[in-house]
Structure 1
């Protein structure tokens, strides 16, 4: 009995020492990011849909490179047919945004799927998934971009100059406001695509 107990104890010690946490792999960025550091990348990558895992991220739009224009943002995505990651930094240096199942575009109606989610680094990572309450995922026109809705406010709203924004709690995601204040001034915007 004692021999069996020792063997059992020994094998459990060996298996614990052999066990290692899986390494979190960071996505490969095909361009430099002004907004995302390794911590951001690790957290976002872990929450992206499985179909996007393992693919490189391509920068489609950046205010630092392309200027501050919603029209340019839409134009840069005209030929895309893949999910996008919208990343915003406000004047308070807070980073937040949305993973959208479809490219951002001008549309008469809301579009997208339940894979769409919101995120915020506050400074810890917060994620807001689809609540199932409505399907107001993404809508764009020449004057603004809206993500989430119902109940009188958008989860994320950006103006045509990508300078003013707003973030309110909304039924689509049951989110807290993403920025420090409900109305915020944009410092920088990046949009990444994961071409799967």
Structure 2
């Protein structure tokens, strides 16, 4: 609510400020004589008005002394500054969340088809353990039991002519997900093939990988009746039959692995094979 003053009252108010802080209001100006401030003889009423103005202002200033002293030790933050600080904090947190989310997305490979066996946490773990030469390339679905049926022959046939590494993913009837990354596509071969890039993995329930031990080079072998990965100790690290229905997993010297499934002999629910190529 505003306060209205007459011209005379404004003059008296100005006089008060001059007397209160002459170093501020008379800086750069000539000092006026006292008769210019109040002409008590010619206009006695001006004294009464001035006294009233002075009394009111003194009351205001007397109440403000404590506040002024307190303000000297306080840090004044405007609404604009407060909003800016709040906005800055929220923007920093938002940027961190976006950055973290972006890193997760960047770590995930691009799949040509939707996987029925792998979710984002599977993809993220597997992509981080695959060789550098596969990083940044899309994953193409070569074989899936849900699409192509359960047949080892079909699996071999779909990979004929490929010259790129492949990822074998198995889900058994106990809902366990595991498999192997092979440096070479699966094929029928009289002898073992593959390189030390080959590794085994399991999510039972946490991710675990088993890389080449260097003890032997029995990476992979296969015939029309079965597919074998790892060996040398009387059992295969991973074995699948011709119908991709029965499987087995044992510890072996090639990878020094634990059985990939919770059961050494298991029943296959689904199989997917992905190739990573330019």
TM-score, with length taken from structure 2:
0.63
Counterparts of 1:98-113 in structure 2 under 5 Å? 98-113=180-195
**Residue 181 of structure 1: aligned partner:** 263
Which of 115, 127, 133 matches 1:33? Answer: 115
- The alignment partner of 1:72 has SS state of helix
Deviation (angstroms), 1:23:
1.5
Are 2:157 and 1:75 aligned? yes
Deviation (angstroms), 1:79:
1.4
> Hey, which bits of structure 1, 4+ residues long, moved more than 3 A?
17-22
**Residue 228 of structure 2: aligned partner:** 146
Q: Deviations over 1:61-87 (max 9, x none)?
A: 000000000000000000100000000
Which of 236, 240, 247 matches 1:165? Answer: 247
Bigger share in helix: 2
Tell me, in whole angstroms, the C-alpha distance in 2 between the residues paired with 1:52 and 1:83. Answer: 8
Tell me, in whole angstroms, the C-alpha distance in 2 between the residues paired with 1:79 and 1:101. Answer: 15
Tell me, which stretches of 5 or more residues in structure 1 are unaligned? 1-16
What CA RMSD, in Å, does the superposition of the two structures yield over aligned residues? 1.5
Q: Deviations over 1:104-157 (max 9, x none)?
A: 000000100000000000111000000000000000100000000011000000
Deviation (angstroms), 1:180:
1.0
Larger radius of gyration: 2
Deviation (angstroms), 1:167:
0.1
**Residue 178 of structure 2: aligned partner:** 96
Are 2:201 and 1:126 aligned? no
Tell me, which stretches of 5 or more residues in structure 2 are unaligned? 1-92
Tell me, in whole angstroms, the C-alpha distance in 2 between the residues paired with 1:39 and 1:193. Answer: 19
Deviation (angstroms), 1:93:
0.3
Tell me, in whole angstroms, the C-alpha distance in 2 between the residues paired with 1:179 and 1:63. Answer: 19
Which of 87, 98, 103 matches 2:169? Answer: 87
Q: Higher relative contact order at CA 8 Å, sep ≥6: structure 1 or structure 2?
A: 1
Tell me, in whole angstroms, the C-alpha distance in 2 between the residues paired with 1:134 and 1:38. Answer: 33
Bigger share in strand: 1
- The alignment partner of 1:42 has SS state of helix
How many residues are matched?
A: 180
